[in-house]
Structures are given as C-alpha cells and as structure tokens.
C-alpha cells in the first residue's frame, strides 16, 4: 500500500516524515514502453545499493489455512497465532470465492492496464487522495519511485446497500465501464465477507470472542487496489514496490503466476510463491494496534523482472473511518501497558497520504505524531 524503508536494519530507522515529496515541479510520466527504450532507466527509479533487490532468496514457509475444514476453528487459530506473532503472513485456501469471479477480475484488470495512458489517466489520482490511477506515484514522490502502476478505489460495506465501486467506475471512466464496476463490486463484497471470516479466526487466535472483530469490521470502509508491474530492462536497479508495512488492518492478495512478493523475516528477504487457488493474507498496522502489538505487521516488497509483467489484486480491509481503534478489554487485561494511543482510520489514512511515506515505522511515527500534536479522535 505504500513504499520506502531501509533493509539493513529496519527497526532502527528514525521515526520522522520522509522528505522526498514532490514539490512544485512537473512529475515524471511513467510509461514503461518508452522508458525501456532508453539506455538506462531514469535516476528516480534507481534505488540505493543497500535497498536493491536480492538475486537469490529462500522461500518463506507460510502456513495454509483451509477454511472448508471442520477443524478450521480448532487448529487454525493456533497456526494463525504462530504466524502472526512472527511475521503476520498466511495463506487461505478453499475460501469460497468463485473461481469465475477471480478470473473475471483478473481479465478486466489486464484490459484496464492495456489501455493507452490517456485512457487510464481519466481516473488519475488527485494529490492527497488514496484512490484513483497512479503511474508509479510520480505525483507524490521524487525519489525511489516504484516500477508499477495501480488503480485504487474505495469500497463501503454499509448496511444501506451502497454500490460504491460500481458507481466509481461509471462516474469516473464512463458508462462503457459499467461491467468493470459490477465485477469489482462483486469482488469487493466477496473480499469483505472473506475478511470477516478471517477476523473470527484472528479473534480466537488472540483469545477474544470470535464475534468481536467481525462486529468491529462489519461496516468497513476498505480500499481495493489493482497492481501492474511491467517488465523492466534493469530489474536489479529498481523495485516494483519498496519495503513497507501496510497501514490498513488486513490485506487479502491474489497473485498471478509471476513471482514477486518478498517478506523480510529473520533478518533476510524471503519469497512467497504465487498460488492462484490461494489468497495471501497479512496483518496491517491498524490490526497490529488492535492487538496491542501482539500480532505483527511485517515488512514486505515486490520485485520486477525483464521477461514478464506481474499483476496482483489487493483488498485492504479498513475499519469504518470514524471507528475508534483500540484493543479489546480481553487483551488489555492481560497486558501491563498500552503500546499505541486511540485513533481513527481516517486520521491514520490522512497521515500516510499527506505527512509520511509509509515504512516499517509508520505506526510508531503516527503514534508519536498523535501524542505530540494532541490530535483529538
């Protein structure tokens, strides 16, 4: 969801806003078909030596959670707790999401990114906003640009039956994108339902009533993102997405067949192999705060290659924007201190969009910012 962080000693970075925001200049246009014709990619896409991608890395042993199994409520909480206290990543299979829906969502994603740049720019993201089309975030940052383009849009699971996604495509890109809107509305609803099932297991993993987190996220204000990582002639110099922890609560990622996702565990980068029949799930900063730091929001990134484009779909589960984020009493009664102050998702989202280029220290930096500025919730 965001980018930037050193890989040499992530935990020791200073908690301060990043100074690479674009200021009063015409941003670079990310057009990989033209950029790859140059003898070298622009300097803005070249990352420092200590942050460049590793060539050979081991594969991360990520547990599989079978949601169709009768033992899912018995064994799964223990397995999830073990993974989430270490790195926050696990895979879910037999998840109940229609294969045809996943296929349609992937097909339409490919159609969108195959459009001419001018067509995609109809949905251009505006400064300070989290949704819309972004070509490598060139409008936000001036250094360490990611080699990718994205389309992000909001999803609301309000009981009023809002068709937020469907309306977004028609209003932003025109009525000819009505089918896009219907497919991604259905996909987001499926992701929201899957998120709530996972939240039940996370609650059990933390020793909380299984309905607690499900109820907390029932009316979520989430974000859906389509990612396209084009081939790059010098993949050893750049990154598709820089090292970051997701500010949201939970990420449900579907990868295509191309490798690219890497996680920083045990002081080294490790890969998660694509599995089209599984969703990659990881804990975000907001749920880390809800667990009072018990479950980890782990550093991860995406790499690119010369031969193949890589695409992925990420659903970022977020609380309703005015919901107060604080751990349940069942957790706090077992711990002596609160690690993070109360906050709302709208405050945290604004911090990551306008004040801070997200990294491994985003949550700590935000907490210090809240306390220093005495921002009321």
Give the residue numbers marked as catalytic. Answer: 310
**Residue 58: CB partners within 8 Å, gap ≥ 6?**
268, 270, 271
Phi, psi of 176 (to 5 degrees): -65, -10
Q: Following DSSP, what letter does each residue of 164-176 receive, concatenated?
A: HHHHHHHHHH-GG
Beta strand segments in 275-376, E: 279-283, 300-302, 310-317, 324-325, 343-344
Among 11, 16, 17, smallest CA distance to 353 is for 17
CA 333-339-344 angle, to 5 degrees, is: 100
Q: Which residues pair with 135 in a beta bridge?
A: 149
3-class SS of residue 37: coil
Element (DSSP H or E) covering residue 226: strand 221-229
Strand order across the 268-271 sheet: 241-244, 300-302, 261-265, 268-271
Element (DSSP H or E) covering residue 133: strand 132-135
Q: Following DSSP, what letter does each residue of 314-334 receive, concatenated?
A: EEEE---TT-EE---HHHHTT
CA 254-316-285 angle, to 5 degrees, is: 120
- Backbone φ/ψ region at 52: left (φ over 0), alpha (ψ -120 to 50), beta: beta
Q: Give the distance from CA 147 to its chain's centroid.
A: 16
Contact 129, 144 (CB under 8 A): no
CA distance 133 to 131: 7
């Amino acid at each position: 969801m965001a980018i930037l962080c050193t890989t040499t000693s992530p935990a020791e970075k200073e908690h301060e806003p990043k100074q690479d925001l674009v200021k009063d200049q015409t941003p670079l246009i990310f057009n990989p078909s033209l950029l790859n014709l140059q003898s070298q990619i622009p300097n803005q896409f070249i990352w420092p030596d200590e942050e460049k991608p590793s060539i050979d890395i081991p594969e991360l042993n990520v547990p599989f959670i079978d949601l169709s199994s009768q033992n899912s409520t018995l064994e799964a909480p223990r397995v999830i707790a073990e993974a989430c206290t270490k790195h926050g990543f696990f895979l879910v299979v037999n998840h109940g999401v229609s294969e045809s829906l996943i296929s349609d969502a992937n097909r339409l994603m490919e159609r969108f990114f195959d459009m001419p740049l001018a067509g995609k720019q109809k949905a251009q993201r505006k400064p300070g906003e989290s949704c819309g089309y972004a070509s490598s975030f060139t409008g936000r940052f001036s250094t360490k640009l990611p080699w990718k383009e994205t389309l992000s849009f909001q999803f609301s699971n309000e009981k009023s039956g809002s068709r937020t996604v469907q309306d977004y495509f028609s209003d932003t890109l025109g009525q000819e994108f009505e089918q896009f809107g219907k497919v991604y509305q259905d996909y987001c609803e499926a992701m929201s339902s899957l998120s709530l099932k996972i939240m039940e297991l996370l609650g059990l993993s933390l020793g909380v009533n299984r309905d607690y987190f499900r109820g907390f996220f029932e009316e979520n204000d989430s974000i859906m993102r389509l990612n396209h990582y084009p081939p790059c002639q010098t993949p050893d110099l750049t990154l598709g997405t820089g090292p970051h922890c997701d500010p949201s609560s939970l990420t449900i990622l579907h990868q295509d067949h191309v490798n690219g996702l890497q996680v920083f565990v045990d002081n080294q980068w490790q890969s998660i192999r694509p599995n089209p029949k599984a969703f990659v799930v990881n804990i975000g900063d907001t749920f880390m705060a809800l667990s009072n730091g018990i479950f980890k929001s782990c550093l991860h990134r995406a790499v690119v290659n010369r031969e193949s484009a890589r695409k992925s779909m990420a659903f970022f589960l977020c609380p309703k924007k005015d919901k107060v984020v604080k751990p349940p009493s069942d957790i706090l009664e077992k711990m002596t201190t609160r690690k993070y102050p109360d906050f709302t998702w709208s405050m945290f989202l604004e911090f990551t969009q306008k004040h801070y280029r997200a990294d491994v220290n985003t949550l700590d930096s935000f907490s210090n910012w809240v306390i220093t500025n005495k921002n009321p919730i």
